[in-house]
Homo-oligomer: A and B are copies of this chain.
């Protein structure tokens, strides 16, 4: 009945096109959804701190500066989100994705996780904090479609 736009933050994996699939799905369904997420350019994300604020001699401080600058974006957008989707791929440790899930959980945000069943056991604490556990991006679109319009 209302014209509310839904703000959905897409956290996690940056090595596959799942965000694009969700974007296309949301668009095709004509959903009133604004998608946000982290900067997904890996190199930029790693180097933003030193690129803007000056070089560091160690990887540790380079990382600290970069992660802090990225946090300006991620914290702001997660706090503004209605729903947080967290994607885990089958590679890398992706601790930032799990961190985002914990952060969103403590803020009381509805969480949807998105990952292969094969890594479900390792993700059990994260999944237990989620309202839906999806395996494919189109399921995320269907969840948003149902939550917003009631369509199945």
| Nearest chain B CB to A4 CB, angstrom units | 7
The CA-CA distance from A37 to B57 in the complex, in Å, is 35
Q: How far is the CB of A82 from chain B (nearest CB, A)?
A: 5
What copy number does this chain have within its complex? 8
Complex: A49 Cα to B139 Cα, angstroms? 10
Report whether over half of chain A's contact residues are helix, strand or loop; otherwise say mixed: helix
Q: A39 and B124: CB pair below 8 A?
A: no
Q: In the assembly, what is the distance between CA of A7 and CA of B117, in Å?
A: 37
Q: Which residues of B contact A35 (CB under 8 A)?
A: 1-2
Chain A interface residues toward B at CB < 8 A: 1-4, 6-7, 23, 34-37, 39-41, 44, 47-49, 51-53, 57, 59-61, 63-77, 79-80, 82-83, 88, 92-108, 110, 112, 117, 119-129, 131-134, 139, 142-143, 146-148, 150, 152
